Amino acid sequence: MIGALFANEWRALLRDGRGIAMLVVGALLAAGASWTSVTTTEREDAARAAATHDARCAWNDRHVDSAHSRAHYGDYVYRPSGPLAGLDSGLQAVTGRVIYTEAHRQNDAVHRPQQSAASLLRFERLEPSTVLQLLAPLLMILAGFGVVTSDRESGRLRLLRIQGAGSMQLLLAKTMALWTIGAAICALTVVVHLFVASNVDVGRVVAFLVLHLALLWIVAAVITGVSARVGRSGTAAAVLLAIWVLGAMVGPRLVAMSADAAHPLPSRDAFMAAMQEDRAQGLDGHDPRDARRQALEKKVLAEYGVERRQDLPVRLGGLIMQADEEYGAKVWDKHFGALEEQMLKQDAFVSALSFLNPLQATGQLSMAVAGTGLASHLDFTRQTEVYRRDLVRKLNHEDAHGVQRNAEGRLQRTTTREFYAGFSAFEYRPLCVGSLLGGRVSELLSVGIWLLGASGFLLLTARRLDRRGVL
Amino acid sequence: MISAAIAIELRNLVRSPLRLGVLALLLLVGGAVILQGGRDVARWQEAIESGREAGEEVIEEARGYFAAGETGPADRTWVNLTQPRWQDSYAATRIAREPASLAGIAAASPEAGAVTMRSSRTADPMLENGAKLENPALAVVGGLDLVTVFALLLPLLVIALGLEIGGYERARGVLPLVRVQAGHDRRWLWARCVAVGAISSLAGVLLVLLASIVLGAGLADAGPLLVMVLAYVAVWTAILGVVVSIARDPSQGAVCLGAAWIFLCVIIPAIAAERSAALAAEDFGVDLTVEARDAGAALSRLSDEQIFEKLFERFPDLRAVAPEELASGRRIALQGLRIVGVEERLEQRERRNDQFTSLMDRASLASPTIAFTRVLEQLAGRGTEASTRFAREVAQAAARRMESYVRASWVGEPLDVEDFEQLVTDTPAGVLPPPAPWSRTLLTLLVWALGMSGLAWFLSQRRS
């Protein structure tokens, strides 16, 4: 019975010009968004590889300077686009693309080229995740707001009921018919991605597909339920569009604003000043009169069993720089750690409220699956800092130990071009989907609960229809 | 007829929980975001103030040394305030990007660069971050401010109030009655649309007034905002007129209005945002990072004559104080060329940004929502133009510093407190955003409103 009803619904949707129009518009949006997004991401990856190559060439071609000069010269790390950025670019538009890694300081990511069209950053990009999370639900609403009301208004429902169709069977068939519109858009998006993208992470793509199919089922069930519960098609359209505006446009913005108000971040000036104050307690590698520097000098002299720095077999400067770096690392860990903690509190606030809004929960999960969410961004900055510390540590070690005393007893550098050529460029290792989704338990639960809740809503609506005989 | 239509629409508004709900939501959210905007501007001012205080502290320290007849702090003997290098360092006052009086209406705009910058000869305005530390996960949502409320929610108010106009009359067969009683059913429908527009405008005016009071904006600033809001409501009222002319029933009207809103407020902006991402795809700022860092090395391979000529091209007055033995001034000349490099990169960036400006121009014609959002950000002094102007001013101040540094270094005479004070007073304290070019956007919105009204007239003519 349900199969026949489902086929019947599909025929009705196709007969109605609106259903066809929505399907065509959805297909165009899905294919267009998937294609442009993948090509943009691939151009971005190519440009990133070129920039990394340029930075590496600059490093290798530089004259053989002192290791400390090289630590100041530093290296540039370019943000990767993320394993599934072609489907969901996540936070990329609002995060800097370059981090300068150098001695003495941990820098922020800078350079956001899209800033030049800042007004457009207020709007979602036309990418697959936008199509599936915002536009496909909308198209389903426009195609299906009258899925029950128009049948009721035309008396077709009563006819179906007389022929033996149960309320639940009817609602389920209508929901499935609507869902297949969304599922078709979803499948097309993924298929185009698979065809166009040169590197495909199948596991992530499957997770992305399943997640959005679940969301679209929730949307289809809510549309059918609302359409069955209200009297007129116009009212159903108004209610469903209002729900969409609240869920897709107003809700997430309100939640973001509330999260910021509940857990405010310090201003950049205050943050930098606090860090500078703590930093001032450490060594100043460039200040020969600094008391802590003198204490370290004494310790090193004692370690090597000599009385004057001129007799040391190592360059004291390199050891001091490394000690300063280690102290600085503690300061940065403290301040950047606190900042990260505050961001995670904001994130937890948003997660907690995702139970109210499946669109928002899906958005967060989608970014997690794509490796373009907050966790991935923070992980990228952490890995960059690990790279920076390792780079500076090696250079400081070379600065201290890459020397020998000549016949006159003066220290001479023994650092070679090969030493610098031995450094490799930063390579980001993305977090696995499991760990990213593991950090999004609230959203997973939210989608699960909404999935059950929306299906339950259908069941309750069917019972209500049976009880009241509204059909 | 208009007054009768307004009375009917007001009665409909009071009787309909949906309409009242949308109006209440608009006013409540609008009020909340205005207050939030006020707090954001206060934070901006705090950042400027703390920057100024930090700058003043250092200047006072230097003045103290001069007053005591010292050349610098006793524990840092290498600091010598009679040298140009240290004068520049101690006189590095902060240049502030002053907020416009309506800055609070666009509090959710992405940070457009730094709000204060040290004005020294080595300042580089292109890679500075903003005053706010942002959680990207919140920033990417787009935020909620008065610009969003006006751009996205105000049209929804027009839609909610006018949802059933035309379709209701046709479905219920009321129109023939109107025709018999009043002679013109089209006039009646238009009168209802205008009434909806008037009520929506009133809501917009209330929010503009509230924003002006809370943010302390005068009539000169709030006036263009008010005009823009009214023009935007006029566009949506005209779009309502188009739908009213074709809707057979309320359901069709709802779908058409929803589709128009989605198309103009979501799909076209999404396409433009995607295009913007595509334009930015290959820009990893290599010119500002790797190339900028290594530019000095490339310059150092030039001959003395080439270096000096390049420097004199930018600072012709320096020719008079150049050392006879060029080699002795080479190091300073190379430093001078640093700011020339910064200016060249800034110019290249501005040229590169032209493609984004052209994209915005085209997108603004395609969607009144984009045009309206853009001009509101410009009125708020948050647009790209404001940060570009600030960067240019900082670069110019840095160039003036560099010129005086090179001159003083080549002349070689010890500097005194008067030279120091000159450096401080020559630095601009603040940079205001450029005036918003709102007349062009007003024209765009009026063209949209007239175009839609013409289409509505044509469709209703055809129908009758």
Q: In the prediction, which pLDDT does A146 show?
A: 85
pLDDT bucket at B396, cuts 50 / 70 / 90: very high
Average pLDDT over residues A77-104: 91
Token output for A392: 């500076």
Partners of residue A46 in chain B, C-beta under 8 Å: 282
Closest chain B residue to the Cα of A364, Cα to Cα: B137
For residues B435 and B178, the model is more confident at B435
Tell me the percentage of chain B whose pLDDT exceeds 90.
49
Q: In the prediction, which pLDDT does B333 show?
A: 93
In angstroms, the separation between the Cα of residue A425 and the nearest Cα of chain B is 14
Q: Decide if B85 touches A, using CB distance below 8 A.
A: no
Question: What is the full DSSP assignment across B221-267?
Answer: HHHHHHHHHHHHHHHHHHHHHHHHHH-SSHHHHHHHHHHHHHIIIII
Partner-chain contact B382 A100, CB within 8 Å:
no
Q: In the prediction, which pLDDT does A43 show?
A: 93
Give me the residue from A50, A142, A268 closest to B129, CB to CB.
A268
Average pLDDT over residues B4-25: 81
Question: Angle B438-463/B368-379 helices, nearest 10 degrees?
Answer: 150
Average pLDDT over residues B258-266: 89
Give me the residue from B18, B47, B266 closest to A269, CB to CB.
B47
> Which of B:172-231 have CB within 8 Å of A?
none
Average pLDDT over residues B401-414: 92
Per 3-state DSSP, what percentage of chain A is helix, strand, and coil (rounded to 5)?
A: 75, 5, 20
Average pLDDT over residues A406-416: 85
Average pLDDT over residues A199-223: 95
Give me the residue from A138, A249, A273 closest to B152, CB to CB.
A249
What is the overall mean pLDDT for chain A?
A: 89
> Which of B:2-41 have CB within 8 Å of A?
18, 22, 25, 29, 33, 36
Count of CB pairs separated by less than 8 Å, A with B: 278
Spatial separation of the C-alpha atoms in residues B39 and B36, rounded to whole Å:
5
Average pLDDT over residues A224-241: 86
pLDDT bucket at B103, cuts 50 / 70 / 90: very high
Average pLDDT over residues B426-439: 89
Q: In the prediction, which pLDDT does A219 show?
A: 97
Q: How far is the first Cα of chain A from the last one, in angstroms, to the nearest whole number?
A: 18
Average pLDDT over residues A242-258: 89
State the SS3 of A54-79: HHHHHHHHCCCCCHHHHHHHCEEEEC
Q: Which of A108, A119, A235 to mutate to test the interface with B (most CBs of B within 10 A)?
A: A119
Partners of residue A425 in chain B, C-beta under 8 Å: none
Pairing of strands B430-431, B94-97: parallel
What is the overall mean pLDDT for chain B?
A: 88
Is a pLDDT exceeding 90 seen at residue A367?
yes
* B322 φ/ψ sector (left φ>0, alpha ψ -120 to 50, else beta): beta
Q: In the prediction, which pLDDT does B34 show?
A: 95
Average pLDDT over residues B409-430: 90
Average pLDDT over residues A48-54: 94
Question: Which of A86-90, A105-109, B408-412 bottoms out in mean pLDDT, i.e. has the lowest?
Answer: A105-109
pLDDT bucket at B293, cuts 50 / 70 / 90: confident
Phi first, then psi: give them for residue B132, nearest 5 degrees: -90, 140
Partners of residue B281 in chain A, C-beta under 8 Å: 40-41, 43-44, 47
Closest chain B residue to the Cα of A21, Cα to Cα: B259
pLDDT bucket at A78, cuts 50 / 70 / 90: very high
pLDDT bucket at A285, cuts 50 / 70 / 90: low
Is a pLDDT exceeding 70 seen at residue A282?
no
In angstroms, the separation between the Cα of residue A32 and the nearest Cα of chain B is 10
In angstroms, the separation between the Cα of residue B81 and the nearest Cα of chain A is 18
Partners of residue A242 in chain B, C-beta under 8 Å: 18, 22
Q: In the prediction, which pLDDT does A208 show?
A: 96
For residues B1 and B116, the model is more confident at B116
Predicted confidence (pLDDT) per residue in B350-390, tens digit: 898 889 999 999 999 999 999 999 999 999 998 888 888 99
Question: Angle A17-61/B268-280 helices, nearest 10 degrees?
Answer: 20
Partner-chain contact A110 B160, CB within 8 Å:
no
For residues B92 and B71, the model is more confident at B71
Spatial separation of the C-alpha atoms in residues A163 and A223, rounded to whole Å:
24
In angstroms, the separation between the Cα of residue A407 and the nearest Cα of chain B is 32
Average pLDDT over residues A424-440: 92
In angstroms, the separation between the Cα of residue B387 and the nearest Cα of chain A is 9
Q: Decide if B380 touches A, using CB distance below 8 A.
A: no
Token output for B38: 């006020």
Token output for A371: 């490796």
Average pLDDT over residues B57-65: 93
Token output for B458: 């044509």
pLDDT bucket at A471, cuts 50 / 70 / 90: very low
Q: In the prediction, which pLDDT does A373 show?
A: 94
Token output for A82: 């993320």
Q: In the prediction, which pLDDT does A2 show?
A: 78
Average pLDDT over residues B105-123: 82
Phi first, then psi: give them for residue A75, nearest 5 degrees: -145, 155
State the SS3 of A341-392: HHHHHHHHHHHHHHHHCHHHHHHHHHHHHHCCCHHHHHHHHHHHHHHHHHHH
Predicted confidence (pLDDT) per residue in B201-217, tens digit: 999 999 999 999 999 99
Tell me the percentage of chain A whose pLDDT exceeds 70.
97
Q: Decide if B131 touches A, using CB distance below 8 A.
A: yes
Closest chain A residue to the Cα of B51, Cα to Cα: A269
In angstroms, the separation between the Cα of residue B324 and the nearest Cα of chain A is 31
Average pLDDT over residues A174-189: 94
pLDDT bucket at A287, cuts 50 / 70 / 90: low
Q: What is the pTM of this model?
A: 0.88
* A446 φ/ψ sector (left φ>0, alpha ψ -120 to 50, else beta): alpha
Tell me the percentage of chain A whose pLDDT exceeds 90.
56
Token output for B199: 């009520």
